[in-house]
């Protein structure tokens, strides 16, 4: 299943959210459980305090009673020591019990009763001791015997025992609660940990799947790129082959056309010689009045020479065309030799070739070369420049001095522009493309030519990896712009040959 | 041409028009030797090598071979190779006269032992001129007798 970018973002966000919720849950539950545990602990502390207060009170009362009984039996003051210390502690112990029970309103009444019972017992004990000291031991024993003090003592004891029991129960419950809270905490932590592990695992899986998906996609893109490059190379090679085939075709065709043409021209020439002889002979003959002779003489002196002259001019034209095709096809078959070239040198050499013709008519040529060197085929470049400059001279406006400027400027992507500008007769805008076609010429056909120069130039510029364009205004001038790579080798290299 | 057995010019040229023009212009140069024309390679080889293909027939002949490379049944290069590899014919001068101006082809012909390589000029005046000069060349050239 391909994971789209959106799905991936949604999934990871969801997982992160779940992880966050789990973490928050753990933290919240932990805080809550710790809080509760604290509460249980406080309760346990209170229960323990209650138990100890109750026990201490009971023990103190027991001590007091023991001391009192001992004294009553023996009359010896020494037995009163436990009583005295107990009585001394008692207020504090009673206060402790009171404090422990203070939060429970329902226990206030029993507490009051307890206090009353304790007070009663203490009073009774104090009276009996007083009576014994004063010698009235019998009255004291009678009081003890009455059992009232014993009853109150019994009540007190029972109350305190029940208080201890309840405290103990509460202690047990508190401990159990605390244990269950700890257990709950453990479970919650475990569960949370499981959820987090799950979330982390899920995220890791998602990220891994996504990364894999990305890697696969990247591989695909790379493969597509590779095959695209291969296809481009194949196409380029195909084009190169097709081009080569066309060149070969042109070469073969022109060669095969030449052979019959040589015959036509050769025998025309032979015929011409024969006709010349015939014409000389016929024109020397006297008019005989024979109409057939007159016809034959007309044929020999006018018709035949005229026919031959037409055949001649046609074959000459055909010869020129075949030569043109041959020249271009030969140029296309020529192996280019990239070498480092001093552009200014080449331009100056081309200029000096036409300098004489230009200055003859008061014209001038200026050059501006801002590119020192380039690597290209010297011969092709020389021919291109020579052709353009020849054209500038050939098609100059007769009534103004010719000015030609050649500028070489660097262009982007490691290329350069060479501009050849003249103030010649210009090219009509409808012919801007046409002039580059083979055997096509523009404007008045006042100059001799076959219409191959610019076609040749374009072929050469293209084989150098460049392009030639023109901008021109009729009657004002023309600018040819050649865009060339600075290094022909990079072009030839990319053009799998 | 030299004395003794007269030199025979063997012209192997499939275009009869060319053959005729060549012949005319050679004659114009004042060369009157016998010209034996062939329009295909097979019959030319037959003449040069004999029916048995040994070349024995050519011994004692003084031959000068004018060869076109574009023949209907084989290329002139094949003929050149055979002529230059046969002990009887290898000393006979071979003039390759053809329309092909491919540098590699020219080189190959010289490598195989061609003595002269001439590209037929396209314009007739040039063509006629070249043939006439070739005729003049024939009139001074010394051709050895085949063994």
> pTM for the complete prediction?
0.51
- Taking only the tens place, the pLDDT of each residue in A397-409 is 888 888 899 999 9
Bridge partners (DSSP) listed for residue A366? A405
Chain B interface includes A312 (CB < 8 A): no
Assigned token pair, B13:
């040229």
pLDDT > 70: percent of chain A: 98
Whether A270 and B24 lie within 8 Å, measured CB to CB: yes
Give the mutation candidate from B99, B122, B129 for the A interface (greatest A CB count, under 10 A): B122
Measure in Å the smallest separation between the Cα of B113 and chain A Cα atoms.
25
Q: How far apart are CA A264 and CA A280, in angstroms?
A: 24
Last residue of a domain, one of A212, A227, A251: A212
Chain B interface includes A267 (CB < 8 A): yes
| Between A252 and A299, residue with greater pLDDT | A299
Q: Is residue A231 part of a domain?
A: no
Question: What residue of A is the nearest CA neighbor of B124?
Answer: A266
Q: Quick one: A325 and A347 in the same domain?
A: no
- Taking only the tens place, the pLDDT of each residue in B4-24 is 567 889 999 988 888 998 888
**How many other β-carbons are positioned within 10 Å of the β-carbon of residue A61?**
24
- pLDDT, chain A, mean: 85
Q: Quick one: A119 and A262 in the same domain?
A: no
Mean pLDDT in residue range A423-429 = 87
**Res. A13 pLDDT band, cuts 50 70 90:** confident
Residues in chain B whose beta carbon is closer than 8 A to a beta carbon of chain A? 15, 17-18, 21, 24, 70, 99-100, 120, 122-125, 127-128
- What is the CA angle A374-A375-A378, rounded to 5? 100
Q: Quick one: A384 and A317 in the same domain?
A: no
- Taking only the tens place, the pLDDT of each residue in A169-179 is 888 888 888 88
Q: How many domains does chain B have?
A: 1
Rg (chain A; Cα; Å): 65
Rg (chain B; Cα; Å): 14
Q: Confirm if B44 and B9 have CB atoms less than 8 A apart.
A: no
Pairs of residues, one from chain A and one from chain B, whose beta carbons lie less than 8 Å apart: 45
* Range list of H helices, A361-438: 378-394
Q: Quick one: A452 and A473 in the same domain?
A: yes
Q: How far apart are CA A383 and CA A456, in angstroms?
A: 9
Chain B residues touching residue A269 (CB < 8 angstroms) = 124-125, 128
Burial label, A225 (beta-carbon count in 10 A; 0-12, 13-18, 19+): exposed
Q: Is residue A218 part of a domain?
A: no
Whether A265 and B123 lie within 8 Å, measured CB to CB: yes
**Res. A114 pLDDT band, cuts 50 70 90:** confident
Last residue of a domain, one of A168, A197, A212: A212
Q: Quick one: A203 and A262 in the same domain?
A: no
Give the mutation candidate from A262, A271, A315 for the B interface (greatest B CB count, under 10 A): A262
Q: Is residue B1 part of a domain?
A: no
Q: Quick one: A323 and A417 in the same domain?
A: no
Q: Indicate which CATH number applies to the domain containing A347.
A: 3.30.565.10
Q: Is residue B19 part of a domain?
A: yes
Q: How far apart are CA A415 and CA A375, in angstroms?
A: 11
Measure in Å the smallest separation between the Cα of A442 and chain B Cα atoms.
28
Q: How far apart are CA B52 and CA B88, in angstroms?
A: 13
pLDDT for A296 beyond 60: yes
Last residue of a domain, one of A280, A313, A331: A331
pLDDT for B1 beyond 60: no
Measure in Å the smallest separation between the Cα of A304 and chain B Cα atoms.
20
Q: Indicate which CATH number applies to the domain containing B63.
A: 3.40.50.2300
- Taking only the tens place, the pLDDT of each residue in A100-113 is 888 888 888 888 88
What single DSSP character describes residue A484? E
**How many other β-carbons are positioned within 10 Å of the β-carbon of residue A325?**
18
Q: Confirm if A264 and A311 have CB atoms less than 8 A apart.
A: yes
Give the mutation candidate from B123, B130, B131 for the A interface (greatest A CB count, under 10 A): B123
Identify the helix (H) or strand (E) that includes residue A283: helix A148-284
Mean pLDDT in residue range A313-333 = 80
Residue with tokens 């001019």: A313
**How many other β-carbons are positioned within 10 Å of the β-carbon of residue B5?**
12
Domain that holds residue A486: 336-494
**Res. A99 pLDDT band, cuts 50 70 90:** confident
For residues A102-140, one letter each, b for 16 or more C-beta atoms within 10 angstroms of the residue's C-beta and e for the rest, the string is: eeeeebeeebeebeebbebbbebbeebbebbeeeeeeeb
As a three-state string, the secondary structure of chain B is CCCCCCCEEEEECCCHHHHHHHHHHHHHCCCCCCEEEECCHHHHHHHHHCCCCCCHHHCCCCEEEEECCECCCCEHHHHHHHHHHCCCCCCCCEEEEECCCCHHHHHHHHHCCCCEEEECCCCHHHHHHHHHHHHHHHHHCCCCCCC
Domain that holds residue B98: 8-140
- Which value does ipTM take for this structure? 0.75
For chain B, the helix, strand and coil percentages under 3-state DSSP, each to the nearest 5:
40, 15, 40
Q: Is residue A220 part of a domain?
A: no
DSSP states of B52-81:
TSSSGGGTT--EEEEE-SB-SSSBHHHHHH
For residues A39-59, one letter each, b for 16 or more C-beta atoms within 10 angstroms of the residue's C-beta and e for the rest, the string is: ebeebbebbeebbebbbbbbe
Beta-strand relationship, A403-411 and A415-422: antiparallel
Q: Quick one: A257 and A113 in the same domain?
A: no
pLDDT for A3 beyond 70: no
Q: Quick one: A343 and A325 in the same domain?
A: no
Bridge partners (DSSP) listed for residue B75? B70
């Amino acid at each position: 299943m391909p994971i789209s970018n959106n799905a991936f973002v949604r999934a990871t966000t969801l997982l992160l959210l779940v992880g966050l919720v789990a973490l928050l849950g753990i933290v919240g539950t932990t805080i809550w459980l710790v809080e509760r545990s604290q509460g249980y602990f406080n309760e346990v502390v209170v229960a323990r305090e209650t138990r100890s207060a109750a026990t201490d009170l009971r023990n103190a009362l027991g001590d007091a009673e023991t001391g009192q009984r001992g004294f009553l039996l023996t009359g010896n003051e020494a037995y009163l020591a436990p009583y005295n210390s107990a009585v001394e502690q008692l207020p504090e112990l009673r206060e402790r019990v009171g404090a422990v029970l203070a939060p429970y309103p329902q226990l206030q009444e029993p507490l009051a009763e307890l206090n009353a019972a304790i007070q009663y017992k203490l009073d009774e004990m104090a009276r009996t001791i007083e009576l014994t000291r004063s010698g009235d031991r019998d009255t004291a024993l009678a009081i003890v015997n009455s059992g009232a003090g014993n009853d109150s003592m019994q009540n007190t004891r029972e109350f305190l025992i029940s208080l201890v029991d309840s405290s103990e129960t509460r202690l047990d419950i508190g401990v159990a609660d605390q244990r269950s809270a700890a257990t709950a905490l453990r479970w919650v932590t475990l569960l949370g940990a499981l959820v987090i592990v799950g979330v982390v695992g899920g995220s890791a899986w998602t990220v891994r799947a996504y990364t894999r998906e990305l890697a696969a996609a990247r591989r695909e893109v790379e493969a597509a790129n590779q095959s695209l490059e291969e296809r481009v190379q194949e196409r380029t090679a195909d084009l190169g082959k097709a081009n080569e085939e066309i060149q070969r075709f042109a070469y073969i065709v022109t060669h095969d056309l030449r052979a019959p043409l040589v015959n036509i021209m050769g025998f025309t020439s032979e015929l011409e010689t024969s006709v010349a002889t015939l014409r000389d002979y016929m024109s020397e003959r006297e008019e005989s009045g024979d109409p057939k002779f007159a016809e034959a003489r007309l044929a020999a002196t006018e018709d035949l020479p005229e026919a031959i002259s037409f055949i001649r001019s046609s074959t000459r034209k055909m010869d020129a065309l075949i030569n043109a095709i041959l020249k271009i096809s030969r140029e296309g078959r020529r192996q280019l030799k990239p070498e480092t070239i001093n552009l200014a040198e080449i331009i100056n050499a081309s200029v000096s070739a036409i300098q004489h013709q230009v200055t003859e008519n008061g014209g001038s040529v200026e050059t501006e070369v801002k590119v020192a060197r380039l690597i290209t085929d010297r011969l092709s470049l020389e021919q291109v420049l020579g052709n353009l400059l020849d054209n500038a001279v050939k098609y100059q406006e007769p009534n103004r001095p010719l000015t030609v400027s050649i500028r070489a400027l660097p262009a982007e992507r490691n290329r350069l522009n060479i501009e050849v500008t003249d103030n010649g007769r210009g090219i009509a805008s409808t012919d801007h493309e046409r002039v580059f076609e083979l055997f096509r010429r523009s404007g008045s056909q006042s100059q001799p030519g076959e219409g191959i120069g610019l076609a040749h130039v374009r072929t050469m510029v293209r084989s150098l990896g460049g392009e030639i364009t023109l901008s021109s205004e009729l009657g004002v001038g023309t600018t040819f712009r050649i865009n060339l790579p600075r290094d022909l080798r990079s072009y030839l290299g990319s053009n799998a040959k | 041409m030299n004395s003794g057995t007269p030199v025979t010019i063997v012209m192997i040229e499939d275009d009869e028009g060319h053959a005729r023009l060549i012949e005319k212009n050679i004659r114009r140069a004042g060369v009157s030797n016998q010209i034996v024309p062939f329009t295909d390679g097979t019959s030319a080889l037959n003449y040069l090598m004999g029916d048995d293909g040994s070349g024995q027939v050519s011994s004692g002949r003084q031959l000068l071979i004018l060869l076109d490379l574009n023949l209907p049944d084989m290329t002139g290069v094949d003929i050149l190779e055979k002529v230059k590899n046969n002990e009887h014919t290898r000393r006979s001068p071979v003039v390759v006269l053809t329309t092909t101006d491919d540098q590699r082809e020219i080189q190959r012909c010289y490598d195989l032992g061609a003595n002269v390589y001439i590209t037929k000029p396209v314009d007739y005046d040039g063509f006629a001129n070249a043939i006439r000069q070739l005729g003049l060349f024939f009139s001074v050239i010394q051709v050895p007798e085949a063994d």
